[in-house]
Chains A and B, each alone.
Chain A
Amino acid sequence: QQQVKQSPQSLIVQKGGIPIINCAYENTAFDYFPWYQQFPGKGPALLIAIRPDVSEKKEGRFTISFNKSAKQFSLHIMDSQPGDSATYFCAASPFDTGRRALTFGSGTRLQVQP
Chain B
Amino acid sequence: GAGVSQSPSNKVTEKGKDVELRCDPISGHTALYWYRQSLGQGLEFLIYFQGNSAPDKSGLPSDRFSAERTGGSVSTLTIQRTQQEDSAVYLCASSPRLGSYNSPLHFGNGTRLTVT
**Which residues of A pack against B, CB within 8 Å?**
6, 32, 34, 36, 41-46, 49, 51, 89, 93, 95, 99-107
Give the size category of B's interface with A: 20 to 34
Contact: B101 with A43, CB < 8 Å?
no
Whether A42 contacts B109 in the complex (CB less than 8 A), given A100-B98, A101-B99, comes out as yes
**A107 to B107 alpha-carbon distance, docked (Å):** 16
Q: Mark B26-62, 1 if CB is under 8 A from A, else 0.
A: 0000000101000011111100100000001011000
Asked if B4 is an interface residue, CB under 8 A from chain A, the answer is: yes
In the complex, residue of chain A having the shortest beta-carbon distance to the beta carbon of B104:
A46
Q: Are A95 and B59 in contact (CB-based, < 8 A)?
A: no
Question: Measuring CB to CB, which residues of chain B are less than 8 angstroms from any residue of chain A?
Answer: 4, 33, 35, 40-45, 48, 56, 58-59, 91, 93, 98-101, 104-110
A103 to B56, CA, bound (A): 14
CB neighbours (8 Å) of B107 from chain A are 36, 43-45
A27 to chain B, nearest CB (A): 14
Given contacts A43-B4, A49-B101, contact A102 B45 (CB under 8 A): yes
Given A101-B59, A104-B43, 5 more pairs with CB closer than 8 A: A44-B43, A49-B104, A101-B56, A103-B45, A106-B41
Complex Cα spacing A105 to B43, Å: 7
Tell me, rounded to whole Å, the shortest Cβ–Cβ distance linking B113 to chain A. 15
- Across-interface contacts of A95 in B (CB, < 8 A): 100
